[in-house]
Amino acid sequence: MGNIDRTTMTRRGLLARGLGMTGGFVIGSGWVAGRTAAWATEVTAIRPETMATLVQMARDLYPHDRIPDENYVVAVKGYDTPDQAPMIEEGVALLDGTAADHGHPNYLGALWETERVDILTALEGEEFFHTIRSGLVTGLYNQKSVWPLFGYEGESFSEGGYIDRGFNDIAWI
């Protein structure tokens, strides 16, 4: 593991390192669960290891400490289809191969977030990377359960629009 530089250690880094040492996912036949058992999902077309990798990749691409893993699972669950499975399995194999080139057993084996970001940066030109990154924009941020975490109250058309619902509330001026 090496020594920890306590002067540059962040809370997120400490948590990531701790999850890496204990194993961040429990993977079974046909299902995958978070280490804390806060979430679990069944997979049908892709391998459970692939789903675990996609969830970690999603969290690394769009890191938000306040968004729970369950929302990242929902965001990537759409790739668990027979049509998408070959491309996803091939992409995760490429991701794991790139992690091996960086000295890790696989993508999940890269314990530090900065290490995983380096791996993702190496794949920025790949179609797999663009597919996952662009799919997460809507897959993650269109979930109504994450809107309050960003202070977004939702659409206002059904309420008569924003004009009468705080649009001009500028008490800070």
pLDDT digits (tens, 9 = 90+) for 67-123: 999 999 999 999 999 999 999 999 999 999 999 999 999 999 999 999 999 999 999
pLDDT number for residue 111: 92
How does pLDDT run across 135-157, given as a tens digit for each residue? 999 999 999 999 999 888 778 88
For residue 159, what pLDDT is reported?
A: 79
Q: What span, in angstroms and rounded, lies between the C-alpha atoms of 50 and 76?
A: 11
Query: Span 167-173, mean pLDDT?
Result: 63
User: At which residue do the structure tokens 């299902």 appear?
Assistant: 31
Q: What DSSP line would sit under 25-88, residue for residue?
A: EEEETTEEEETTSS-EEE-SSS-HHHHHHHHHHHHHHS--TTS-HHHHHHHHHTT-STTTHHHH
- Which one, of 125, 104, 4, 127, lies nearest residue 56 by Cα? 104
